[in-house]
Amino acid sequence: MLLKTLEEETMPRSRSAAAAVCLTYLLFLLLGIGASASWAKDVMPVGEKAAVDAQGHDIYQTDANGIRIGYKLIGSGEPLLLLTGLGCTMDRWTPEFIEEAAKKHQLIIMDNRGMGYTTDDGQPFTYRLFAQDAVSLLDALGVRQTDVLGYSQSSVTTQNLLLSFPDRIGKAVIHATSTDGQAVAAALKRLPLPDDPTIRKQLQAAMGWKTPLEKMKLIKNQVMLLVGTADTVVGTKGSKILAGLIPGAWLVQFKNGTHHLQFEAPAAFTRIVLTFLAMDETVPAKRQP
């Protein structure tokens, strides 16, 4: 009946034109409104184009939280905010993960304060400030809510996002984390880190951090703790503690994985992160009779 109606409406046109109209309409029906809605959610860049990365992705800078935040957008779909570790820039993600994740998500990848294309206004660094930077970027981009993957230093930023801005976060992957920044800072000082003022400020922020464990039970977001069993920077203790406190949290440990787990097992790392983000593990509550 639908095809007949389309043919009647297109009779004045040529047969080929009518066929094209039919095909276009049927393709729209097959793809569904959902696909259009997904495209409509994609973020448009704001601010100014600052550079192009080695893979040809545009890097932008925009004003947010009193600084200029550098970021790039890759892929299409539901947003996924990627927050990288101490001393790292937005390029510090395994290419395999970026390629696969961008097929299902629009990746929002930012430089931390004082690193790469993000400036520093001189404030003392705190994880609360880092969380505010991330939320301010989301505000600038018009993103109401996003999933987040925070690695190393930014795993603690992610803890802060869950505690202070839970409505802005969907699901959260806390990768290579700690509940005691002093121990992590001591471990990092044994590594050959560059003598850089920003990295020194990042270490100072770590020194002042202790997770408020009593608040972890209040987190309602779906969370996965991800860590390598041979991580000598943060160890596994913090991830295990948080997994036991956050209701319904996943704990995934990679045997022999170090602090550089995503580069040691990129395919498995990618698979577990995307599996977690795709799954709704919440069972609907039964109605009371």
Please give the full DSSP string across 98-142, using - where no structure is assigned: HHHHTTTEEEEEEPPTTSTT----SPPP-HHHHHHHHHHHHHHHT
Q: pLDDT by residue (tens digit) across 177-187?
A: 999 988 787 77
Mean pLDDT of 2-25: 38
pTM over 0.95: no
Task: Using a pLDDT cut of 70, give the percent of the chain over it.
Answer: 85
- Residue 289: per-residue pLDDT: 66
pLDDT confidence bin for 268, thresholds 50/70/90: very high
Mean pLDDT of 183-194: 77
Task: Using a pLDDT cut of 90, give the percent of the chain over it.
Answer: 75
Tokens of 7: 């043919």
Closest alpha carbon to 93 in 114, 72, 77: 72
Label residue 10 exposed, middle or buried (CB < 10 Å: 0-12, 13-18, 19+): middle
Closest alpha carbon to 98 in 71, 69, 74: 74
Q: Which sign does the torsion angle of CA 231, 235, 237, 238 carry?
A: negative
pLDDT confidence bin for 39, thresholds 50/70/90: very low
Q: pLDDT by residue (tens digit) across 115-148?
A: 999 999 999 999 999 999 999 999 999 999 999 9
- Residue 242: per-residue pLDDT: 98
Q: pLDDT by residue (tens digit) across 44-60?
A: 999 999 999 999 999 99
